[in-house]
Each structure stands twice: as C-alpha cells, then as structure tokens.
Amino acid sequence: MSTAFDKYQRLEASALWREAPEAQRREVIISIGDASLLISDMRDRPLAHWSLAAVERANPGKTPAIFIPGGDDSESLELAENETEMIEAIDTLRKALHRREPHPGRLRWAILLSSVAVLGAGLTFWLPNALRSHVVGLVPDLNRVVIGHDVIGHLERTTGSVCHSDLGDQALKKLAQAIGVSEILVVPGGIKTTASLPGTALVVGHSIVEDYEDPAAAIGFMLAEATYAAENDPLERILEFGGARESFRLLTSGQLAPDTLSAYAEHLAITEVGTRGTDGLIDGFVRLGLTASPYAYALDISGETTLALIEADAIISQSAPILTDGEWVALQDICAK
C-alpha cells in the first residue's frame, strides 16, 4: 500500500470543485496525501481534505470524471478527460484501500460469531464499558484510520482546513516519526491544544506551535498527547462519547454514524483538554533527548504543579534537536496565508 501511495505522492491535477449545491464551481489543484485527497486553490491554499477510502466515483466509465466524498453529492470534484493519470491514481488507491478493508459482511459475521456466545450467555449483565472494550479490540487498523480521517473531515468545518506547506509538512513528518504517531496535522483554530484520533493521527492547534519560542514546549504538548493516546484508546473515547448504541452499530456494521462523528468533532473543538499525566511522559522526554522544563513551564509558569517534569531535566541527556531552526520557523508559519 505504501508503494502505491509513494508512486502518486507528487502527482497533481487541475479540477473543478463545487463546495455546496448552490456554490459556483471553481478551478482547484488536487494532490495525493497520506490516504487522502488534498484540494487547494490556485495559490496553493488548502480548501478541503477528503479521505480516499470514502471517495466515490459518481459516474463510473463516463467523462468528465466526477468524484464525491462518502456518498455526499452536495460536494464534488470534476476532472477533465485529459487528467487520465490522476483519475487512474484515485481509482487505483481507492481499490487498494478497499481490498485491504474487511468486507462489511465478513466483518459483521466474524464479530457476531465471536460475540454470540458471550452475549447469549450474559446479555443481561453486559455492562456498556465491557461492550465498548470488546468492540474496540475487534476493529482492524485500517478501519481505525478511516474513522480518524472521517473525524478530521468533520473537524475542519470548525477549525478550518488542515494547514500545509512544503517545509512545514517536512517538519511534521520528522516530528511524527520521532514521537511515534502516524501523522501530525496542524489546524488554524478551534483545537485549544492537541487531540488524538483513531489510526494514531495527532491534531494540533496552530497556537501550540505559534505561541512558544522554544520548540521543546510545543513538542512536549504533542508527546504528552501521544503518550495519553497510547494509554487511552482514541476509538474507545469516541464510543464512550457515542454511547452503547454506537458500540452496537460498530459491532454489527463496522461503521459509525456520521452524526456521531460530527458531534464528536465539535466536542473536540470546544472542549478544553485537561492536563495530561506524567506517567510514561518523562520516559518519552528521555528517549527523545528533549528537555522537559519548557513544556512544564508552559503548563504552569510557576512550576509548582509540574515540578516532577522540571526535575526530570537532571536525568535527560540532550541529543541533537529534532527540527532545524528553519524547519521550526516553517512549522510556526504553516498556517500563514
């Protein structure tokens, strides 16, 4: 799969994008991202971010090719007949994703058969927490990635489109690899600090990289969120938010209701993230060779409530910075218009 995405990573094409039924079609540039289709205006400013797994061909075999996101024909992309390479790329990647995705019927029956004995014997005593944990353990990694990208699509309506720039994206890839997540996405507003999504995606509010001069403070927020997500499954948090009904929906259909994902995205955008615990976090700073005190003082300028993090600097052997000065500046400017 990664080979297929690598093949088309730098492919771009022009298209006509309609944002809403009443909107005028406008000329845009589309490109292939990580399991996503990026839509930008002619000045390379991001406009939308579609999950490739959810993209559908509205007129198979006909031209101009028309694509829609997840069955929602209120938004569309129209590619001319001469954009054959991009049309083939989208079709190829969609098919590759769906080949790896379990067939809904097979997934449904596999989950039902594995659960029927337990449910039949003790449904009366099956607590929501136990059901949620059971379902979370059955969801494949690819389904988690799709759910995470679906949440991002809803989230962008509140936060604005995910920010991109050549050097900024390069810096985020280095950070994601160092921290141990699949991708880090910076949004211009909405998210107060950070949020983690299924598929190990990390969403960061632009203020985190813009407000702190020391990159160690911003990286600390990302590391804290990644550490928290490793101990508190993001998918389980979505199911806890959606209630037992969504757990049953995922159990029987392999999908979550769009309304639930939309509501959860709004919840992420308006909810103040609490202070993440230090359990395992200090080990992360040690592993990265990153001083913990800038993050500690960003949380509490007095340092009184973050003393353990400040004192951890004594046992941290600093390594070369994760980002160069140029990459850090590019990351701070990634949402600049």
The domains of the chain, with CATH numbers, are 2-100 (2.30.29.30), 147-242+256-332 (no CATH)
pLDDT tens-place string over residues 127-173: 567 777 777 787 888 888 888 888 888 888 888 889 999 999 999 99
pLDDT tens-place string over residues 209-239: 988 889 999 999 999 999 988 888 998 998 8
237 Cβ contact list (under 8 Å, min separation 6)? none
**Taking all residues of the chain, what is their mean pLDDT, rounded to a whole number?**
83
Mean pLDDT of 55-77: 83
pLDDT for 134 equals: 78
pLDDT for 302 equals: 93
Mean pLDDT of 181-204: 88
pLDDT for 323 equals: 93
Question: Is 97 within 8 Å of 41 (Cβ atoms)?
Answer: no
pLDDT tens-place string over residues 99-112: 655 545 555 655 56
